[in-house]
Structure 1
């Protein structure tokens, strides 16, 4: 446990401590020359109620090492026994929709959580349910049911500049809500191997353990990022913190709301960041960007006209400096979305392509994550927007046993219309008991029961 040190002006006399008193007139004035002193307090009073404390409880499996002399008696001599161990954890979150009770946080904050409790700034404690999450980008969406919630306004993180002021809000070390300030130290940070998709805002605002999932805001009180990691020895703050940009968060959350998960779009290129060596070897007149080494046949990039040897310099008009930054930006944009990709050709000419991102190979979900009786089915949203298509069924699976077939379209549950996977997941999370799936098969309609 860390010790907190408090420093005061003291004088030691005869073994006692005398605290030097300050004259009454030394109190700080609220104004100088009739001008109010600058303060973040008015803005923070409006924003801090949107930042919450998240407490989790759960169990996870740990491997117990077995002494060499006893390993003969276990099935696999190279492995120990798997045991379940209870854990508790703390983190932060941000209310982004007061009407629907949506809270965004980091995926690692609630990983393996069986109970999620939200503590609001006013002291109210509420149980939260997980709507969905994405470990690759470390974003998760929770929901609570309560009145009088306060949401934060989301800013356009693409408008950020290095040197802009930034304020971090969270609950470090479980001490309670804490505010720190600094500046935006860098943009587009990637290659840190913290997450699979990285496009971080770097800040020197103090971020410590427990701040994960909290808010990084600008001086207007708008959300510019979700605090996610720090770089420092033993988890301590050294003025290098990282936040997921708000635009990336917004793209991911919209997919989670619609599908119950992230459906990444795929550009279909492989490459590396431009370096001075690559620029010299390829006779390029630029030293930054994403160099395209290979274009996948029939991919979105191939169909749009992007070629190997191109250097991608912008996505939707925003500069891309590295290949990892390109991967992070594209990775947060959903399949089917159209983006503008700016490239520089070897001849130095700039071209802009409109590219419609294709579905990732992992776009189809295993339906067991929705309900155990759907195990063995693969589902995806109907492109026409009127239901969920069963794209595959495993033989002898629970999904096959209840009568699901490849090509079925689920368009309702318990007589309630269902348009997409997000609505189906939400309904199953909110209700218990027996469910009747309304299925459209060819030109007929039928109900299949699951419990």
Structure 2
């Protein structure tokens, strides 16, 4: 069969024990010759040891065939039977208005002819659907899935393994972690549920099972191992800290369970690395300890509250490590501290090297972000610090970032270059959410709608609007007023990743 390869089994290697030249009188040696032939060699096995001889090294486990029915029928089936009932299929749908003309929804086409939304012409409604998986984590019908599975959905329906189907309400959506929490609508009785395990106890090489609905073919179970932990350079969510597995994960598996051999959820399958769209044995799951925080927030009212550090951290490169006199790159270096923040009150300084969080080593700002963000509010966390030749432990208070001034989020529309952008006033809370420097003031772009004028212009989430047509921007209300009317020319100053960009556009 093309592309099929027979498995190659390793040749058994027997431990060889050298026979001593002289034996004491009570020593008895047995010599067994195997595979003798022309030019053949003999394999010598010593069956007893002479007096005063050094003890033999422990023998390697013997390779053998199964000797009982129980060994022949070893299976993951008991784990699968306990897990499958709590893994659901998630169907999300939304209605969109589609223009009858192929050019009616093109903002550049409409601007060329000098029209606005009224030139769209007749529209027709179209239903878009997405398919994913989810995990029941509470017998009352609470389900966790990926945010991208139900993003912008008007209606969500879930199907259980026993073929029952229910409508579901969206309780919480968290784009930062790409997690969402659903609740079965009108649920009566209890549902099969899985326990969220401790993902910090996972080790590379542990066997795991992935359960979901790949390609919509129906519930599927795949098996593999934990390939790596704490993957931080993946680029999927704000909190870059993933479990990597070689269990086959494909489109439709998103939101499904990654479970250990006890049937506990250790991760939520989220993404794959693929050039073809199919699994090549590199899948990523959000750790259960991050999932637990989001589920707990959903149970407590649907608002996620995370601790605020109030400092900016940078990856330690090989050059920086050399400059600091380190043997290798490790930890995260402090590049800025916000006045009055928990970091400042704890005594953290610019130039400090953060190497651990509550005794757990960290390798970069992303691993720090995960360890710090999963701590509950209240109390303190111990940061291991290197400052020059000193090693310190600083107790940082676990408090929420203040939102002063209020974010006053606004969705801008009309005919300005900002149409389709959502903007918010900057505050410590917003700066922390958007991962912006803590000392910035003004208005930030938090979201840009696909195919909008703002997207066509090139605005992206995280841009800080500094100036519009010579007027410094301080609040979202001010920006909304300035962009409510047409201007012959738009001159805009925007800060992006520490650089100021000057933009000029015709109105």
TM-score normalised by the chain length of structure 1: 0.68
State the 1:240 CA deviation. 0.9
Q: Does 1:65 align with 2:101?
A: no
Aligned residue number for residue 68 of structure 2: 33
Higher relative contact order (CA 8 A, sep 6+): 1
Deviation at 1:67, TM superposition (A): 8.0
**Structure holding more strand per residue:** 1
Q: What is the aligned partner in structure 2 of residue 442 from structure 1? A: none
1:319 aligned onto 2:371? no
Match of 1:298, SS?
A: coil
1:112-261 pair list within 5 angstroms: 112-144=152-184, 145-261=187-303
Which deviations, in whole Å up to 9, do the C-alpha atoms of 1:163-201 show, x marking residues without a partner?
111111100111111011111111111232211222111
Contact 1:336 1:358 in 2 (8 A): no
Does 2:127 correspond to 1:92?
Answer: no
Match of 2:86 in 1: 50
8 Å contact from structure 2 (residues 241, 370) kept in 1: yes
Decide whether aligned partners of structure 1 residues 81 and 218 sit closer, same or farther in structure 2, where only a CA change above 3 A counts: farther
Shift of 1:85: 4.3
Please report the TM-score for the alignment, with normalisation by the length of structure 2. 0.61
The C-alpha deviation readout for 1:102-151, integer Å capped at 9, x for no partner, is 11011111111111111111111011111111011111111111424111
In 2, distance between residues paired with 1:338 and 1:365?
Answer: 27
- Aligned-partner Cα distance in 1 for 2:198–2:405: 27
Moved over 6 A (4+): 79-84, 362-368
Cα gap change, 1:252 to 1:341, in 2 (>3 Å): farther
Alpha-carbon distance in 2 for matches of 1:82, 1:319: 56
Paired residues of 2:93 and 2:155 also in contact (CA < 8 A) = yes
Deviations 1:52-92 (A, max 9, x none): 11111113577822685983142399x99998642111110
**How far did residue 275 of structure 1 move?**
2.2
- Name which of 147, 163, 167 aligns with 1:107: 147
Q: What is the CA distance between 1:214 and its match in structure 2?
A: 0.4
C-alpha offsets along residues 311-369 of structure 1, whole Å, 9 cap, x if unaligned?
A: 2222233221111121233334455463232222321524252432332549978799x
Is the alpha carbon distance of 1:149 and 1:365 closer, same or farther for their aligned partners in structure 2, counting shifts above 3 Å?
Answer: farther
User: Which of 1 and 2 has greater Rg?
Assistant: 2
Contact 1:133 1:262 in 2 (8 A): no
Question: What do the CA deviations read for 1:209-230 (whole angstroms, capped 9, x no partner)?
Answer: 0000000011111110001111
Q: How does 1:262-411 map to 2 (within 5 A)?
A: 262-285=304-327, 287-333=329-375, 335-336=377-378, 338-359=380-401, 361=403
Structure-2 change in CA distance of 1:66 and 1:314 (3 Å): closer
Alpha-carbon distance between aligned partners in 2 of 1:186 and 1:333, rounded to the nearest angstrom: 23
- Relative to structure 1, is the Cα distance of residues 65 and 192 closer, same or farther in structure 2, using a 3 angstrom cutoff? same
1:372 is matched with: none
Cα separation, 1, equivalents of 2:408 and 2:295: 20
1:352-396 deviations in Å (ceiling 9; x for gaps): 52432332549978799xxxxxxxxxxxxxxxxxxxxxxxxxxxx
**CA–CA separation in structure 1 for the residues paired with 2:285 and 2:404:** 26
Number of equivalent positions: 341
